[in-house]
Amino acid sequence: MICADAKTGVVKWRQRLQAERLNFTISDISGPAVTESGRVFVYDWVTIKDRPMVKALIDAISSQSASLPCSMAPSVVDCFAVRTFDAMTGKEGSYFPMAAMGANGVLPRVSLLETQAGKEVAAVPPTMAGCPP
């Protein structure tokens, strides 16, 4: 990913992304997106091998859901991620590894037939059909 001066095209900074291609094309062609405060969001793929980091990621799930996802004893987290960079300097910020943070686990559900404003319904297990064709 590069950041270039809009008027001159001079490259200000560049950052290497891990994934040459993401399997879901929309993820591949979407973004990057930039906030007014200067944070760049970009989709990528991450492999996390650092054990404390893996453990911290898994522990973080408990703040989202009372139930742990289905297979939560990994030593490596390898998944789609949202990464962030500072728009001015290109310095990497925090990132969000989807699978590690519970995207494949039990999550809250809004059911369009049962949910009224202010009323919650039960959590649901992960989808099993995978991505659409």
Q: What residues between 34 and 73 interact with other proteins by CB under 8 A? A: 34-37, 39, 41, 43, 64, 70-72
Please state the closest distance from residue 42 (CB atom) to other proteins, in A: 9
Please state the closest distance from residue 15 (CB atom) to other proteins, in A: 14
Distance between CA atoms of residues 95 and 78, nearest Å: 13
Count of residues near other proteins by CB under 8 A = 73
In the numeric block, the tokens 């004893």 are attached to: 73
| Residue 100 Rama label (left phi>0; alpha psi -120 to 50; beta) | alpha
Looking at beta carbons only, is 18 or 71 nearer to other proteins? 71
Distance between CA atoms of residues 123 and 49, nearest Å: 29
| Residue 25 binds to other proteins (criterion: CB under 8 A) | yes
